[in-house]
A and B are shown apart, each in its own frame.
Chain A
Amino acid sequence: MTLGGRVLFRDRFAGTEAGVSGALSRAQADLGASPLGVERRDNLVIVLGEVLNNSVEHGMADRTDGWIEMIIRMNPADRAEVAIADDGRPLPLHLLQGAQAPDVTVDADAMPEGGFGWFIIHTLVDDMTYERADGRNHLTFSI
């Protein structure tokens, strides 16, 4: 990833559910005024929600003093390039390799209430890089 190009959104926020919810609302508003196409913008907002909530729920499950930093740029091919850093626990590497869709062809009382997140991410994201450095997670991807 080049991480060049015009900055569409940049934010640093608390690694809590409320912190993520606020950042996503701001991102959704700012990206609405960007030249990204509507479908790409919607996909981006969906993926950001999954990635950021995973960081909070799993990487920072036992604390509220974590932080997350996010930059979204538009590259010359009009794709959104995203870089996210957080100081949570390391991301389990198997999550980066792909994810199965939960089976929803089951009876209502057995319907899964979770496990959709990484499937959604991998369906919408083409490339993803991950690095653990300086006690932080560094995730990049483009949409």
Chain B
Amino acid sequence: MRVDHEIEGDVIVLTVNAPRIDAAGAVGFKDAVRAATADHPGRVVLDVTQVEFLDSSGLGALVGVMKLIPGRKLELAGAGPIMRKVLALTKMDKVFVLHVDRHAALEPRDAA
């Protein structure tokens, strides 16, 4: 899975270029994020605007990614309706930080 990254100040923004984070793609997703965040000490924002589908395996991969960035919360920008629903059902919307979009994630003190 292709995950692009950009550094904005102390924030790394990772763009997930895939319509699905699911059982078939979970391992590739986690590996791509691990490679991109390895030497980054600051906030980690995943721009998931293109992601139309998340299943429980993909959710597990997001938890795995959070464990790669100890002491920080994983931040998600632009989650669509299916991802928001899966996060809400499992109460993981209280564990990750959700932003309406990438722009909001980069605003100071945003926590949409």
Contacts and interface: CB of A to CB of B under 8 A. Distances in A.
**Helix, strand, loop or mixed for chain A's interface?**
helix
B25 interface: yes
A45 B82 contact: yes
Contact of A18 (B24, B64, B66, B94): B24
Contact of A53 (B23, B63, B91, B92): B23
B85 A116 contact: no
A28 B53 contact: yes
Interface in B14-69: 19-20, 22-25, 52-53, 55-57, 59-61, 63-64, 66-67
Contacts of B56: 49-50, 53, 114, 116-117, 120
A119 B60 CA distance: 14
B22 A116 contact: no
Contacts of A53: 22-23, 55-57
B90 A108 contact: no
Interface in A102-139: 102, 104-105, 108-109, 111-114, 116-117, 119-120, 123-124
Contact of B85 (A42, A57, A108): A42
A64 interface: no
A25 interface: yes
**Helix, strand, loop or mixed for chain B's interface?**
helix
A38 B84 CA distance: 14
B90 A116 contact: yes
A32 B64 CA distance: 31
A115 to B, nearest CB: 8
Given A21-B22, A21-B25, A25-B19, A104 B57 contact: no
A101 B59 CA distance: 14
Contact of B70 (A43, A109, A112): A109
Contacts of A38: 81
A24 interface: yes
Interface of A: 17-18, 20-21, 24-25, 28, 38, 42-43, 45-46, 49-50, 53, 56-57, 101-102, 104-105, 108-109, 111-114, 116-117, 119-120, 123-124
A-B pairs with lowest CB-CB distance, top 10: A113-B60, A49-B55, A17-B24, A116-B56, A21-B24, A117-B56, A53-B23, A113-B63, A17-B23, A111-B63
